Amino acid sequence: MNSPQPMPSGPNVAPSFGSMVGGVLGLVTAAKLGLNPLNIDGGSVAVGVCVLVTAFFHWLGKKTGMPGLMG
């Protein structure tokens, strides 16, 4: 029995796009909370939001099978 050859896939760019969006959202969230992103409090909020958004985009890219969500 011959099994089909797997399709070659390109690099998954969804997490990269998600990290860009997450970085901006993290900075905006820290600013809205009145925190300085250069301090430990504001930085942890910014990084936490960035990690969550990046993980979401990674999950979404895996579920849809699309290497990039933009095109």
Phi-psi region of 53 (alpha: psi -120 to 50; beta: other; left: phi over 0): alpha
Whether pLDDT at 65 is above 50 = yes
- What letters, b where the CB count within 10 A reaches 16 and e where it falls short, cover 28-66? ebbeeeebebeeeebbebbeebbeebbeebbeebeeeee
What is the predicted pLDDT for the residue at 63?
A: 81
**Domain layout of the chain by residue ranges:** 14-64
Whether pLDDT at 2 is above 70 = no
Between CA 20 and CA 6 the distance in angstroms is 30
Fill in the DSSP letter of residue 39: S
70 falls in which pLDDT band (50, 70, 90)?
A: very low
pLDDT single digits (tens) 4-54: 666 555 555 556 788 889 999 999 999 999 999 989 999 999 999 999 998
